[in-house]
């Protein structure tokens, strides 16, 4: 393998021959392992200055030249560099034929920062989900215990109020679990949509009427005559409900919902949800579509816009955020027109 080629690789590479001595290293490996010179001709164990938390070295622990005669690789493992930095190390064992002795070992060393970041993201996920689940569960548990312990002392109005609150908290838990399942499907590429020709105007009218019943803030709906779109009606309702509820939650006045052909692409129908709140600064407009992003006020799980973005893109549409003249945000989704 040409030296220039392996020097261009982002990971450290160390190659040893049948005599257990190093034949080749690249720039990244020499930097990580603090090798003076090329390391060529030195024993593999001397060059691979890697240890675990118990002080074991990589070569002794994995014995790449020994073990089963059918072994072809050493799986990726976490090891420590001389400066204590965590790296992920794997090796390929080369043999002339099945059952033949190892005549070459190629070791790769890569940074473990991505795994540390993944661990932090998982910790954030657990903490966020635990917090979101605990709040409604606390309410459900408290009211259920009160009903069980004081049933004969409560009047009908008190019982109805408690049961109504329990039902609302149960609905909140159901929505959160559904959001988490959607996030998992989007992340793993298993999101299923069932597109078919549908009336986008009628679906948006349905969403506006539903959200309007739950808020005193006025929602103004305007729609031009537009062709039918190809979309999953349930997903459209999920997307638009999320956006309209967000506009109501974070805005200060009326909310506008406008349906029209996309002025830049007549093969798309655009739905704009306009609020009169503080707006979203340009530097945050991509961040709002990440998991667990929440505004400074308004609460929520921080999953809604991530799911909106995933659902709209699954239909071949787009989601954009702009400023409303006079203050506020305009969130526009586009949906593909049905071609007969």
| Average of per-residue pLDDT values in the chain | 87
List CB contacts of 241: < 8 A, sequence separation 6 or more. Answer: 207, 210, 211
Q: Where in the chain is the domain with CATH 3.30.565.10?
A: 196-336
pLDDT score recorded for residue 295:
62
Q: The domain 3-111: what is its CATH number?
A: 3.30.450.20
Could you read off the pLDDT of 270-291 as tens digits, one per residue? 999 999 888 888 888 878 887 7
As a whole number, mean pLDDT of residues 225-238 equals 94
* CATH architecture label of 115-188: Orthogonal Bundle (1.10)
pLDDT at residue number 315: 93
Indicate whether 297 pLDDT > 60: no
Report the alpha-carbon distance of residue 215 to residue 220 in Å, rounded: 13
Question: How confident is the model at residue 296, as a pLDDT?
Answer: 53
Mean pLDDT value across residues 233-245? 94
pTM for the structure as a whole: 0.60
| pLDDT 10s digits, 241-250 | 999 998 998 8
How much is the average pLDDT of 230-251?
Answer: 92
215 CB-near residues (< 8 Å, 6+ apart): 248
The predicted pLDDT at position 3 comes to: 82
Which is nearest to 40 in space by CA: 15, 64, 63, 68? Answer: 15
Q: In which band, very low, low, confident or very high, does the pLDDT at 333 lie, cut at 50, 70 and 90?
A: very high
Residue intervals in the chain for CATH 1.10.287.130: 115-188
Q: How far apart are CA 174 and CA 194, in angstroms?
A: 22
Q: Which one is the CATH code of 196-336: 3.90.1150.150, 3.40.190.290, 3.30.565.10, 1.20.1070.10?
A: 3.30.565.10
């Amino acid at each position: 393998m040409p030296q220039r080629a392996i020097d261009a690789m982002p990971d450290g590479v160390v190659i040893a021959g049948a005599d257990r001595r190093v034949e080749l290293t690249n720039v990244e490996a020499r930097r990580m392992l603090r090798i003076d010179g090329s390391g060529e001709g030195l024993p593999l164990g001397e060059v691979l200055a890697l240890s675990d938390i118990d002080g074991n070295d990589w070569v002794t622990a994995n014995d790449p030249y020994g073990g089963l005669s059918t072994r072809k690789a050493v799986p990726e493992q976490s090891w420590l560099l001389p400066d204590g930095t965590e790296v992920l190390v794997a090796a390929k064992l080369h043999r002339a034929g099945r059952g033949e002795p190892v005549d070459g070992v190629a070791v790769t060393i890569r940074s473990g920062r991505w795994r540390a970041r993944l661990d932090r993201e998982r910790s954030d996920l657990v903490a966020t989900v635990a917090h979101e689940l605990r709040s409604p569960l606390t309410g459900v548990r408290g009211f259920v215990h009160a009903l069980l312990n004081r049933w004969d002392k409560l009047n009908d109005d008190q019982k109805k109020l408690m049961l109504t609150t329990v039902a609302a908290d149960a609905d909140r838990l159901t929505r959160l679990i559904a959001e988490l399942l959607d996030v998992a499907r989007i992340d793993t590429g298993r999101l299923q949509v069932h597109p078919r020709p549908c009336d986008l105007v009628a679906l948006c009218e349905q969403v506006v009427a539903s959200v309007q019943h739950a808020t005193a803030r006025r929602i103004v709906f305007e729609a031009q005559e537009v062709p039918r779109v190809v979309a999953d009606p349930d997903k459209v309702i999920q997307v638009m409900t999320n956006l309209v509820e967000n506009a109501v939650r974070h805005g200060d006045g009326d909310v506008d919902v406008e349906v029209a052909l996309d002025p830049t692409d007549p093969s798309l129908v655009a739905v704009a949800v306009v609020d009169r709140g503080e707006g979203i600064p340009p530097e945050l407009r991509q961040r709002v579509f990440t998991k667990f992003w929440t505004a400074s006020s308004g609460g929520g799980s921080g999953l809604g816009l991530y799911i909106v973005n995933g659902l709209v893109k699954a239909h071949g549409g787009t989601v954009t955020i702009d400023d409303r003249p006079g203050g506020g945000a305009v969130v526009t989704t586009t949906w593909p027109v049905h071609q007969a």
